[in-house]
Amino acid sequence: MRRSALLLAAPMVTAVVFFLAPLLLLAQRSLATTTGAITLDHYARFFGDGYYLGGLGVTMGTAVLVTLITLACAYPVALQYWRASARVKSVLIILLLSPFYANIVVKVFGWMLILPTSWLNGYAGLLIVSVHRDLPFMVLLVAAAMSRIDREWIESAQMCGASPARILRTMIWPLSIPGVVSGCTLVFSVTMAAYVVPAIVGGPWRGRFLPVLLYQQMTIAQDWAFGAAIGVILLVASLIIIATGNWLIKHSKAGVLVREGFDA
């Protein structure tokens, strides 16, 4: 018992020092005035300004849209990966992991050479680059969930006369829900907090994303308190959306599949 406690102490201390403490400092800074008093003026300024509220809506809406597009693109790839032979899987896994070998800035500049000029500094280019960045995460998580599906179940359904479309709809899709939930949560979180993509290829949309606004307030305007308030709002909004999505899934038929998938 003592050895287990010592082994857990190191990661817990690391989490507190490098994760929880900075968040608490951010929250404290968002409530402080120049004299050190506590105030809610920074939050009142945010929610009282339509521009910042619109930025929150654009940020959340884009995160949801990118998540849905990424899922639509990743699911067929994950399905083919699951069905592929061992040799083909080894090639596919290299292709899936290859984007991680390059920094996000390098990948963005690569897309800047490919995208048409009309898309380069606009919302379409932002969506394309965001989906490309998030696609490997979604594919790998969905494929991991599919790997738990016993091939004998598929063969039994085929022997009973089930069509491929019906097998996909009634067996593969429900059993892959745990991976879909994990992938959507990760992609949504990454997109909500993304700064590089909207800052470089966002064009006129650049100033509508909260991470960019946060950066501008802290580095250009030197208003650290208001920037900290934007950061807290961004974090809380992300947690609310993720918690709401998980609650809806938990209280639906998919909730049973999710629990079974993670308990397996």
Over residues 45-89, the pLDDT tens digits come to 999 999 999 999 999 999 999 999 999 999 999 998 988 888 888
Number of H helices, E strands in the chain: 16, 0
Check if the beta carbon of residue 104 is closer than 8 Å to that of residue 197. Answer: yes
Q: Which of 81, 99, 54, 78 is nearest to 184 (CA)?
A: 78
- pLDDT attached to residue 192: 92
Check if the beta carbon of residue 78 is closer than 8 Å to that of residue 139. Answer: yes
- pLDDT attached to residue 112: 83
Report, as ranges of residue numbers, the positions in the chain whose pLDDT lies below 50: 258, 261-262
- pLDDT attached to residue 262: 46
- pLDDT attached to residue 30: 86
- pLDDT attached to residue 215: 92
For domain 49-263, the CATH superfamily is MetI-like (1.10.3720.10)
